[in-house]
Structure 1
């Protein structure tokens, strides 16, 4: 598994506002930035910080034409300067075996961690040391050499420590989480800016001015917390993968679950403005279906609907040993239907009347869903021959143009998240009425196919990893 690429993909989703859902009740980031500006002016007046020297060409917010990618409406583009109380170079002091302060150097930072016991000491002017003492939440940035651009978030300090001159310290205002900024410092977009801004032929370096002018997307404060929480979870999972200390089956399941989550929110693939809106598609599929403007957290071109509005569905025939009238036909039970596959090792027969065949026959493209047993388990019938079903299986057949595989993955997502057949629901089976009323999204038809293609591409990636490890 290329965990480096996986980290970058997750970070990329995070800084674009696609990792966690937005909450319309969150205070917009624009208000947050105004508070920071007011706080900065207060500190300048009190003489606690100096006003930064900006050229006419620099700005806290990039011009629209320079915005590198779209972000949610309640986010804001700004700069590292705008969110920082201080961007300060370290001290040029010699390392010693003994001294009053630890002296943190670039070489002491390895893989986002510091072995403080091995960090040397130094002595420093007591009248100046306060400006350079490290605090939890400080972010240190390597400004030169092979590690230029690497960063470290100070999270614990056993002793007082200062930092060496090849490091720059960034201290953010309270309205911005240092952990969010640190994750941004690991993103692909950040590294693109570092590569563009680094100077020097022999030893590349990035000075404090370049660092301060880097553009950063800022979410609302509450969303920063949600993003950091989600990133910590995912980075922890990837760490475990790299260390090989957990069950890979669980990791793959979690990764697939997240892929489905993003897919169903409309965040797995980009929307295409040339696609016909789903509202028009729904009108063709079912003219009687409700067209709603309230699409919850779905993209604007999607529609919120129910399964019964876009699929015709029914169950098959109940087995009755006393009823022997009709033509003997092979039929499927719940023991034959598994997630997107079928077990043909035991196929039974029972008689079907001519009048029952239309209702009970499965043809290529039908979606089958278990009414009992493992409730909600589903598979698409992709065979060229027909077969019948019994009464514990629902047959779903599209009322119009749909990508059936998209709705298979929706059922898989609902099942894995205990939204159908979960504990405590109190259902002995998934009734036709319950199935009919399941809320589902309807994307444009072209996007349905793009989503399925991306899901299957990513799932194939994880399946191949699993097969390799099981071989």
Structure 2
């Protein structure tokens, strides 16, 4: 369960009288409300507040709830308004019964900066931005209102501020620890009770949130003061309020702490399979996943065969000779690279990312491939159906997702592009623009061409092993370092061809891939 859901459940239990037990020795809420009415009458006589001629009085009779509005009003059954049952010692009231609900004063930017910023004395002025989502209030915002400016309404210490307009309406709420002036998008809930925590928690309850949401109006969303004053609220006996508050004070911090741990755990849980997969792939391409077999033909022999195969293809004019062919070898504990027939050996120790078994070899990607090209930079006119045109967006979980292909070409377009790419079953399709590193083995007999966002790679080593290398941290770091572009980064073919690949013996490549498939199936 999410922390927010748990908090809502507990707050709702509290508002229904189910969080702490009732005590029959408690003075009932009806007596508390009677004292509030007497206190109001006293303040009216002292001309400190005005009489509300539409004062609400809610009472039970024969198992039903009735409301009488004003002295001359007739009792009306309000059973349909009552959202849930409450204990017999509790009462329902309109929020306005508690005392007063009112908004503050707006200040325009110029006035705020010229008249009320940088003052050393006065009431701190609280705007919506100063009430935080964690219920804290920022008093030190640099804006103060002189105490002799009577036009500004004051929210007294202990009262509750609630945002009632804008994107934060109904979600930002706090209890004041000092007298303040405040903005017109905030409502002050001022009561006769010194401890307003029960009201504070009620305004966070699911019941209030639902009511608030239903009363929102306007483009930016807000609830007027008149509607707020008319909201129903359950009132427990005063002593029970204190027990509820103490219980919530104890539970809410623990729920918030749980939320932090839950969020961290959820992130860890969602990232764990990918991180574990990356770690396993890294172990695999470093020769640490499966044991080496001394009977395996070493990678050096495999590379020699690839070299011979390339010579054959060159003679048959199926591929062109690479005058800058790379040859990497180890001598006296150091790695050297010779480029082309006339190149001088250069130590490349700084390029070697990690140690590999003695039966493995380092080589450039181009050394082990007979084809590395990209898709069309100027694809043929788009058709609604026909021969698919692949892009990196069509690689999904190491497969080509033909259902996601939205671009097609006709035979003319295919015949124009295919001689260069010639995508065949077994080729590696690698994302090199945008989602760099997305990789799949082409397993279909369908005719296709590709867009420039993918590279088409025909390799002479085990294609599934090379695809695993492209999924590894080794390639991701390489791509991140050497890709170019701002809006959409891309890896140039020349750079791709220079990528250093750790090459195991062929039999070991197959054992590695087999074990990776078994492990990833479980993930």
Q: TM-score range by the shorter chain?
A: 0.3 to 0.5
Larger radius of gyration between Structure 1 and Structure 2: 2
Q: Tell which has more relative contact order, 1 or 2 (C-alpha 8 A, sep 6+).
A: 1
